C-alpha cells in the first residue's frame, strides 16, 4: 500500500510553494524522514521529508509546479529498497573528447536524465538538473568533485570550479600535422539567448521591491564616514576578540550598534505604518541582507540593542552560513524593524537602497576607499565610506532622516559613543 507524501506546513501566511528540486527519483530507496524534494517558498527553500521508509513510487506533480499546503506530491511504496540498491546507477555520460570540434556545447535532455541522482556506494552523486547539465557540458566527473551544498550535494559552482581547475592543470594539446584543412571555426560574435523561469523567491523579491516603490514615498539621504577609528579598533583587538569569542570582529557589529543609537534617538526611523496608524517599537530588530544561492534574503537579528558586539557577529555569521546552505526558516525572516544592506562587499561605491516593507528605512553600506579629505585645515588621506539612508517620507521627515544618519556617522567615527550611549 502506497503512502502519500504531502506538502508540510510552510509557515505563517504561506499557503503554496514551487517544486524546485527532486532529491530522489522513482524506484530509489528512501528512509523515514529523509528529504525527497525541495520546495521554494516566497522566502526560503523547504525540504519535504518522507513519512515512511520504502521505495519512491511516483511523483504526482512536475518540477516547477505550484503546490499548496497539504497537497500530495509523491507516493512511497512498501519495500526495503533492496531491489533499487542492487541495480547499479547508470554511469555518467563520457566527457567529450579533447579536440572534437563537432561536439555540441549543450547536452541533450536524454543525456541529462541518464545521469545518476543518488549518492551511494557505487560512486553516483546527487545532482539537480542544472548541475547535471553543467557536468555534461564541461566534461567533469562528478564523483571526483567535493560538494559544498547541503549534505555534501554538488552545486553548479562546484562543477564550474572543477572545470576551471581541470582546464588550468591540463596542458594545451599539440595539434597533429595534417595535410587536410582544419575545420572552420565557429562564427565570431555568435549570440545566444537563454530563457530561465524566475524562482518563486525571485518573483517575490521583484513584487515586494516594486510594491515598495509604488506605495512608499522613497527618498535617500547620503553622508560619508571616516573609518579610521573603527579600523584601528579592529586591528588592535581582532586577535583577542577572536580568541575569546570564536568569531572575527567585523564592521557589521559596529554599524548595527551605531544604528541602535540612532533609532533610539529618532524613533520614527524604527517605526512603520499600519493603516492610518504609526507603530513605534521600543526594541531594535535588524534585518541583515545576506546573499543566498537563490537571491538576497534578510534574516532578522532580534533585540540588537540588548546584544554585545560578539553576539551580533555570531548571529550574522550563523545566518550567513545557513543562507548559503539553504537552511533558513520562515521564522528567521519574520519581522524586523530596520534593515542594513552592505553592498560594499561587492565593490559598490554608492547606491540608493530600497526599503524592506513594512519597514520605513534601510541603511546602505559601501566600499571603503582612501580619499583626500580636509581635517583641521589640512588635506589628509583617510579610509572613507559613503553611507546611504533610504526612508519612507510619509512617516520620516527629512530632518529626522538626516539626524539619524549623522548619529550613525558620529558613532562610527568615535566608537566610544557606543560604549557610553551618546
pLDDT tens digits for 203-224? 777 887 788 888 889 999 999 9
Contact 260, 305 (CB under 8 A): yes
Q: Do domains 3-85 and 202-419 have the same CATH topology?
A: no
pLDDT at 11: 66
Domain 202-419: CATH architecture, name and number where available: 2-Layer Sandwich (3.30)
pLDDT at 383: 95
pLDDT of residue 12: 63
Q: Retrieve residue 48's grid coordinates.
A: 519535504
Q: Which of 33, 122, 151, 397 is catalytic?
A: 397
Catalytic residue from among 151, 239, 393, 414: 393
CA pair distance 30, 78, nearest whole angstrom: 10
Between 41 and 82, name the one with better pLDDT.
Answer: 41
373 Cβ contact partners less than 8 Å away, ≥ 6 residues apart: 226, 379, 380, 381, 382, 384
pLDDT average, residue stretch 227-234: 94
- 3-85: CATH topology is OB fold (Dihydrolipoamide Acetyltransferase, E2P) (2.40.50)
- The DSSP code for 312 is H
pLDDT for residue 164: 78
Question: Residue 378: what are its φ and ψ, rounded to 5°?
Answer: -120, 145
Question: Sorting pLDDT into bands at 50, 70 and 90, what band is 47?
Answer: confident
Question: What average pLDDT does this structure show over 327-351?
Answer: 87
Region 117-128: mean pLDDT is 50
Residue 69 pLDDT grade (very low, low, confident, very high; cuts 50, 70, 90) = confident
pLDDT exceeds 70 at position 93: no
pLDDT for res 126: 56
Residues belonging to the chain? 422
pTM above 0.85, yes or no: no
pLDDT at 38: 81
Q: What is the mean pLDDT of residues 360-364?
A: 95
> Is residue 393 flagged as an active site residue?
yes
Distance of CA 218 to the CA centre of its chain: 26
Distances from the Cα of 68 to the Cα of 49, 75, 413, angstroms: 16, 16, 51
Domain ranges of the chain: 3-85, 88-167, 202-419
pLDDT in tens, 71-80: 888 888 877 6
Q: Is the pLDDT of residue 110 over 60?
A: no
Cell numbers that stand for 387 in this block: 553611507
Q: Is the pLDDT of residue 229 over 90?
A: yes
Amino acid at each position: 500500500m502506497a503512502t502519500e507524501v504531502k506538502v508540510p506546513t510552510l509557515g505563517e501566511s504561506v499557503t503554496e510553494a514551487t517544486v524546485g528540486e527532486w532529491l530522489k527519483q522513482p524506484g530509489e530507496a528512501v528512509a523515514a524522514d529523509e528529504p525527497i524534494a525541495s520546495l521554494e517558498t516566497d522566502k526560503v527553500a523547504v525540504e519535504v521529508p518522507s513519512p515512511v521508509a520504502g521505495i519512491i513510487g511516483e511523483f504526482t506533480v512536475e518540477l516547477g509546479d505550484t503546490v499548496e499546503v497539504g497537497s500530495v506530491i509523491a507516493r512511497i511504496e512498501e519495500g526495503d529498497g533492496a531491489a533499487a540498491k542492487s541495480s547499479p546507477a547508470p554511469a555518467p555520460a563520457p566527457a567529450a573528447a579533447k579536440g572534437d570540434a563537432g561536439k555540441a556545447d549543450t547536452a541533450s535532455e536524454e543525456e541529462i536524465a541518464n545521469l545518476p541522482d543518488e549518492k551511494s556506494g557505487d560512486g553516483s552523486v546527487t545532482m539537480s538538473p542544472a548541475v547535471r547539465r553543467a557536468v555534461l557540458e564541461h566534461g567533469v566527473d562528478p564523483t571526483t568533485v567535493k560538494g559544498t551544498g547541503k549534505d555534501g550535494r554538488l552545486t553548479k559552482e562546484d562543477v564550474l570550479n572543477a572545470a576551471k581547475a581541470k582546464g588550468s592543470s591540463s596542458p594545451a594539446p599539440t595539434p597533429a600535422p595534417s595535410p587536410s584543412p582544419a575545420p572552420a571555426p565557429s562564427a565570431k560574435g555568435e549570440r545566444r539567448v537563454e530563457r530561465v523561469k524566475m524562482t518563486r523567491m525571485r518573483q517575490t523579491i521583484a513584487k515586494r521591491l516594486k510594491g515598495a516603490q509604488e506605495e512608499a514615498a522613497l527618498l535617500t539621504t547620503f553622508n560619508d564616514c571616516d573609518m579610521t577609528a573603527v579600523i584601528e579598533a579592529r586591528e588592535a583587538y581582532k586577535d583577542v576578540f577572536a580568541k575569546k569569542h570564536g568569531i572575527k570582529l567585523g564592521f557589521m557589529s559596529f554599524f548595527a550598534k551605531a544604528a541602535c543609537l540612532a533609532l533610539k534617538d529618532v524613533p520614527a526611523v524604527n517605526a512603520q505604518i499600519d493603516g492610518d496608524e504609526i507603530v513605534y517599537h521600543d526594541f531594535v530588530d535588524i534585518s541583515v541582507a545576506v546573499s543566498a544561492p537563490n537571491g538576497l534574503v534578510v534574516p532578522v537579528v532580534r533585540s540588537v540593542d540588548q546584544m554585545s558586539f560578539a553576539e551580533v557577529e555570531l548571529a550574522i555569521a550563523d545566518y550567513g552560513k545557513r543562507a548559503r546552505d539553504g537552511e533558513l526558516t520562515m521564522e528567521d525572516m519574520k519581522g524586523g524593524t530596520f534593515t542594513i544592506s552592505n553592498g560594499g562587499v561587492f565593490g559598490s561605491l554608492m547606491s540608493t537602497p530600497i526599503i524592506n516593507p513594512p519597514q520605513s528605512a534601510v541603511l546602505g553600506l559601501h566600499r571603503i576607499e582612501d580619499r583626500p579629505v580636509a581635517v583641521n585645515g589640512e588635506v589628509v588621506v583617510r579610509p572613507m565610506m559613503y553611507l546611504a539612508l533610504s526612508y519612507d517620507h510619509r512617516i520620516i521627515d527629512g530632518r529626522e532622516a538626516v539626524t539619524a544618519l549623522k548619529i550613525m556617522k558620529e558613532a562610527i567615527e568615535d566608537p566610544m559613543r557606543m560604549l557610553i550611549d551618546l
